[in-house]
Amino acid sequence: MRRIAISTWTLHGQLQGGLALLDLPAQIAQRGIQALEICHFHLPRTTPAYLAELRQACRAAGVEAYSILIDTGDIAAPDPQQRAADLQTIRSWIDVAAELGAGRVRIVAGMQPPTPEVVQRSVGNLRELAHYAEQRDVKTITENWHATGLVPHALLTILDQCEGRVGLCADIGNAEGPDKYATLAQLLPRASSIHFKARYTPDAQIEAADFTRCLELIVAADFQGIVTLIYGDTDREWAAVEQLAEALQPLIR
């Protein structure tokens, strides 16, 4: 069943401006949103006490801690020492996700152009990290983001070679470009979640033609998972959240 979630990135300005992450579950629940994706850098602390408090805040609001978005580390880095350090950092964030009770982590497939060697490096490290996460009851997903994962063929090759152990977040905004809809047509049938970022007109209205086309592609792919609201600016964030959530209701019903 399709459900609406929100990423803390969408409320980056609010969080920078004083909104406490602990207060966010209740605020999104009031707006009918019941799943939360947390960018790793929005966690002010990762102590067991703080993570327990955040877990309780989610539970009290009836909000699922859907994922930790790990926005650091290059698992395809050419330098072995950098790669080893980045992999250890990512493992530490998997531990945080497990402590928080988040169901999954999003790991970037790599930040290098997807040569055959880079793709194999990405596959090997994603498989290792997925195994590490599985031992902690955390699922692993990746995303069409950064150099290694932006080319659909390379990303799908990586997913195939991970043999079902790594899911896909298909990011609408990251697919922007002349081949946007062709890219989405390839990715959406494989997606376990979606980051939905709309285009906007100069008067802050959702661009209807693009929005409709993206919805058509989601329906055609028979996607049934989480659709996360993504808004990239730091003004009118709550208004944009409500606008996008309302526009997506036909997809959710």
Q: State the pLDDT at residue 190.
A: 98
* Position 253 pLDDT exceeds 90: no
What dihedral do alpha carbons 240, 6, 14, 171 form, nearest 10°? -80
Looking at residues 207-222, what average pLDDT do you find?
98
118 pLDDT higher than 90: yes
Mean pLDDT of 44-64: 98
DSSP-derived letter for residue 199 is -
**What tens digit of pLDDT does each residue of 10-43 get?**
999 999 999 999 999 999 999 999 999 999 999 9
Residue 233: the pLDDT is: 94
51-67 as b/e, with b when 16 or more CB fall inside 10 Å? Answer: beebbebbeebebbbbb
Mean pLDDT of the chain: 97
Q: How far apart are CA 191 and CA 147, in angstroms?
A: 19
- Is residue 25 within 8 A of residue 53, CB to CB? The reply is no
pLDDT score recorded for residue 250: 93
What fold characterizes domain 3-252? Answer: TIM Barrel (3.20.20)
Coil, helix or strand at residue 200: strand
Of the pLDDT bands very low, low, confident and very high (cuts 50, 70, 90), residue 1 is: confident
Q: Any idea where the domains of the chain sit in the sequence?
A: 3-252
Q: Which residues contact 120 (CB under 8 A, 6 or more apart)?
A: none
Question: Is 0.95 surpassed by the pTM of this model?
Answer: yes
